[in-house]
Structure 1
Amino acid sequence: MEKDFSSLTRQYDLDWIRVIATLAVFLYHCTMFVNPFPWHIKNNELDSDGILVFSLFVGAWIMPLFFVISGMSVSYALKSRTMSGYVKERFIKLGVPLAFGVLILTPHQIYIERITNGQYDGSFFSFLPHFFDGIYLDIGGSGNFAFFGLHLWYLLVLLVFSLLTLPLFQKVGIKQFKTHHFYILPIFLFLSNIIKTQGLGGWDLIFYLIVFMYGYYFLSSPLFKTALKATIKIHMFIAVVTTIVYIVWFMSGFPKPGTIESWIYFAVRTFSCWSLLLCVFYFADRYLSFSNKFLTYTSEASMPFYVLHQPVIVLIAYFLHDLSWPIYVKLLILAVVSFVIIMLSYHIIIRRFNSLRFLFGMKVQNKVKSDTTFSTFTSK
């Protein structure tokens, strides 16, 4: 999604992580159509087994991963930009697609949620004048204006984090990574459960702020990968054990808030998240530290893909939700059709016009390539 590795030595593994994570978010939101969690549009039949396991697994680490990557990206961006240049870049790369998404890509999602939940019975065009009626705060609420763009909340939060932490980042430089940081961060993340602000994407904003700052201060250190290689077996063991315990515990009965069990559960989930993140960084560094045409193409496409994916999924899901087809058939159709529509929209339209590139947070080019095939997907 956010893309800015302007250091002399480009971290291709981080580009790969971003591309793969964007695809994981896409698949995760496809499963929201059929899993038991509240969402904007739900299928007429829900799944509580295999699909739920996938949703729980991906939801445990996917958004923290984006914030860690974003913190690392800031460390590279500030090496080559002035403070004013950095702030301008943040507003263009994050603020513009956020505003575009709120005004253009959000109304039909709210409308579909309202008509499928029996909260509105008119046409989409009759609904549009009501889009600014009240603030949309949660699924099933009464307000319609989603100022955070629904799934685009990540862009808003990242923009706020980028601006709030800038004075601190300017004053206190990047720190050297030491092995004990592997075990200090989960403690801080666990203690973040004491402070309740706003939960988004499965975690609190304080949780995201901590991993964002950790990404800037420590994971961008050259010593991080060296320490990770030396300790990866420990992290893999913790990841497997805690993730299994977390998923089984959730499916067998979620603990009541405020109990000792709920704190233990949060601790297990926190260690699962952190250890899975470390495994992602390790395997990406080991197997994905290279570039090719596929990465060049998909890395640039990741932000438009992210901005477009949920609006398209919700629209296609609306036409599927009342059909009497098997769950997995619907899910497959939803994923394939949505993916094709998003990629065709990007390849044929968005990347060719500078006005659209600007709206989707892409770098404006003097001359946009005019090839009409997907040959750029094919690497040598």
Structure 2
Amino acid sequence: MENNNNSFKRQYDMDWIRVLATFGVFLYHCSMFFNPFPWHVKNNELDSEIILVFSLFLGAWMMPIFFAISGINVSYALKKRNISSYIKERIIRLGVPLVFGVFILTPPQVFIERISNNQFNGSFLEFFPHYFDGVYLDFGGTGNFAFFGLHLWYLLVLLVFSFLTIPLFKILPKINKFGIMHLFLLPSILFVGGIIKTQGLGGWDLVFYLIILIYGYYFFSSQDFRNTLKATFKVHFILAAITSVIYILWFMKAFPQPGSVQEIFFYAVRTINCWSLLLCIFFLAEKYLSFSNSFLKYTSEASMPFYVLHQPIIVFLSFFIRELSWSIPAKLIFLILTSFILIMACYHFVIRRLNILRFLFGMKGNKLVIQRDHAQTNYAKYK
């Protein structure tokens, strides 16, 4: 999603993680059409087994990994920029696509949700003036204005976190030492942070994401962290495997009641699972993905537009196939392939070729496009 290649010239593994995790978000939202969780539009037949297991596993680490990478990104960005240029860069790269999504890409999704739930009867043009009626708070609610852009909440939260953490990052120096004790201390802090209930998004609380981002800045960006990770990978892998099985089976068989002792232990398992999976992902990426090629350069630049555009297209296609008599596997394959093709076609043939769209989707301007537009303007002027 967040794209800042200049900050990661030598850490190509971080680019690979971001690209693969963005594709994971895409698959996750495709699965939301079929699993039992509330969503904007649901299939006429739901799956509480294989697709649910896939959704639970992906949701355990998917959004935390983005905030971890964002913390690393901030670490490098603040080395290269002063505060004013850093804030400007955050607003352009995160704020612009967020505003674009809120007013252009989000209204059709809310409209489809209202139509699917029989909360509105009419065309999109008739619905659009009602988009500003009340604040959208959750699936199936009554308010329509989704100021956070639905799936674009990550951009809003990251933008706010970027501003809130500036004083902290400037006052407290970077921590270059990372030892074994931190592997136990940091997840303990995550667990304690989970007691604070603010707003849950993407399966975790905002405080959890903030702690992960701070970890990224102070710890995940240090070489000591990578060295310690290499020496302890087998432990993290075993923990990740065991806690994944316990978490998924516990969720599916006997989800604990809110406020119960079981819920505390359940959250502890989730926290250890997320932490262990993050460490495994970082280790495997550094070991096998510390290289660059033309595919990475292309997909790394495409990651933000892909993220911004993917859910509106998935929701749109889901709406039209929801009542068809196809089997779940047939609909799933159709949804994944068709959505992916449409998203990439929009990006490859339209978005990346027009600088105004590059700007709206959080990308840097293309010099070749600028030169072409300038040449076309001069040609029209002197024709």
TM-score (norm 1): 0.96
The percentage of counterpart residues that share the same residue type is 64
1:38 aligned onto 2:38: yes
**C-alpha deviation, 1:8, in angstroms:** 7.8
Per-residue CA deviation, residues 120-171 of structure 1 (Å, 9 max, x unaligned), is: 0111110001000000000010000000000000000000000000111111
Match of 1:373 in 2: none
CA distance, structure 2, for counterparts of residue 311 and residue 222 of structure 1 = 39
Match of 2:365 in 1: 364
Q: Give the alignment of 1:210-359 within 5 angstroms.
A: 210-359=211-360
Contact 2:8 2:14 (C-alpha < 8 Å) held by counterparts? no
Contact 2:60 2:273 (C-alpha < 8 Å) held by counterparts? yes
Q: Give the alignment of 1:146-161 within 5 angstroms.
A: 146-161=146-161
CA distance, structure 2, for counterparts of residue 115 and residue 189 of structure 1 = 40
Q: Give the alignment of 1:60-99 within 5 angstroms.
A: 60-99=60-99
Per-residue CA deviation, residues 58-81 of structure 1 (Å, 9 max, x unaligned), is: 001100000000000000111110
1:102 aligned onto 2:65: no
CA distance, structure 1, for counterparts of residue 132 and residue 105 of structure 2 = 14
**C-alpha deviation, 1:180, in angstroms:** 1.4
More helix by share: 2
Contact 1:44 1:321 (C-alpha < 8 Å) held by counterparts? yes
CA distance, structure 2, for counterparts of residue 329 and residue 349 of structure 1 = 29
Contact 1:4 1:76 (C-alpha < 8 Å) held by counterparts? no
**C-alpha deviation, 1:368, in angstroms:** 3.3
**C-alpha deviation, 1:186, in angstroms:** 1.1
Q: Quick one: structure 1 residues 333 and 9, their matched pair in 2 at CA, closer, same or farther if it must change by over 3 Å?
A: closer
CA distance, structure 1, for counterparts of residue 303 and residue 370 of structure 2 = 18
CA distance, structure 1, for counterparts of residue 332 and residue 97 of structure 2 = 28
Match of 2:145 in 1: 145
Q: Residue 22 of structure 2 aligns to which amino acid in structure 1?
A: T
**C-alpha deviation, 1:327, in angstroms:** 0.6
Q: Quick one: structure 1 residues 79 and 233, their matched pair in 2 at CA, closer, same or farther if it must change by over 3 Å?
A: same
Match of 2:129 in 1: 129
Q: Residue 91 of structure 1 aligns to which amino acid in structure 2?
A: I
CA distance, structure 1, for counterparts of residue 354 and residue 360 of structure 2 = 10
Contact 1:94 1:155 (C-alpha < 8 Å) held by counterparts? yes
Which shifted more, 160-169 or 181-190? 181-190
Q: Quick one: structure 1 residues 369 and 277, their matched pair in 2 at CA, closer, same or farther if it must change by over 3 Å?
A: farther
CA distance, structure 2, for counterparts of residue 369 and residue 92 of structure 1 = 18
RMSD: 1.2
Q: Residue 284 of structure 2 aligns to which amino acid in structure 1?
A: F
Q: Residue 357 of structure 2 aligns to which amino acid in structure 1?
A: L
TM-score (norm 2): 0.95
CA distance, structure 1, for counterparts of residue 6 and residue 330 of structure 2 = 43
**C-alpha deviation, 1:10, in angstroms:** 2.1
Q: Residue 145 of structure 2 aligns to which amino acid in structure 1?
A: F
Contact 1:98 1:148 (C-alpha < 8 Å) held by counterparts? yes
Q: Secondary structure at the match of 2:40?
A: coil
Q: Residue 251 of structure 1 aligns to which amino acid in structure 2?
A: M
Q: Secondary structure at the match of 2:367?
A: coil
Which shifted more, 81-90 or 165-174? 165-174
Unaligned runs of 5+ in 2: 372-383
Per-residue CA deviation, residues 360-380 of structure 1 (Å, 9 max, x unaligned), is: 00011221399xxxxxxxxxx
- The number of aligned residues is 370
Match of 2:210 in 1: 209
Match of 1:188 in 2: 189
**C-alpha deviation, 1:9, in angstroms:** 4.8
CA distance, structure 2, for counterparts of residue 160 and residue 7 of structure 1 = 20
Q: Secondary structure at the match of 1:324?
A: coil
CA distance, structure 2, for counterparts of residue 8 and residue 204 of structure 1 = 28
Match of 1:165 in 2: 165
Contact 2:36 2:46 (C-alpha < 8 Å) held by counterparts? yes
**C-alpha deviation, 1:224, in angstroms:** 1.1
**C-alpha deviation, 1:6, in angstroms:** 3.2
Match of 1:377 in 2: none
Q: Quick one: structure 1 residues 282 and 348, their matched pair in 2 at CA, closer, same or farther if it must change by over 3 Å?
A: same
1:18 aligned onto 2:54: no
**C-alpha deviation, 1:5, in angstroms:** 4.5
CA distance, structure 2, for counterparts of residue 5 and residue 216 of structure 1 = 17
CA distance, structure 2, for counterparts of residue 8 and residue 276 of structure 1 = 22
Match of 1:28 in 2: 28
Which shifted more, 300-309 or 190-199? 190-199
Q: Secondary structure at the match of 1:6?
A: helix
CA distance, structure 1, for counterparts of residue 149 and residue 339 of structure 2 = 19
Contact 1:36 1:48 (C-alpha < 8 Å) held by counterparts? yes
CA distance, structure 2, for counterparts of residue 146 and residue 83 of structure 1 = 30
CA distance, structure 1, for counterparts of residue 370 and residue 54 of structure 2 = 38
CA distance, structure 2, for counterparts of residue 7 and residue 190 of structure 1 = 30
Per-residue CA deviation, residues 13-71 of structure 1 (Å, 9 max, x unaligned), is: 00000000000000000000000000000000000000000000000110000000000
CA distance, structure 2, for counterparts of residue 62 and residue 364 of structure 1 = 29
CA distance, structure 2, for counterparts of residue 74 and residue 6 of structure 1 = 12
Q: Give the alignment of 1:111-130 within 5 angstroms.
A: 111-130=111-130
**C-alpha deviation, 1:7, in angstroms:** 4.6
Contact 2:355 2:370 (C-alpha < 8 Å) held by counterparts? no
CA distance, structure 1, for counterparts of residue 292 and residue 8 of structure 2 = 15
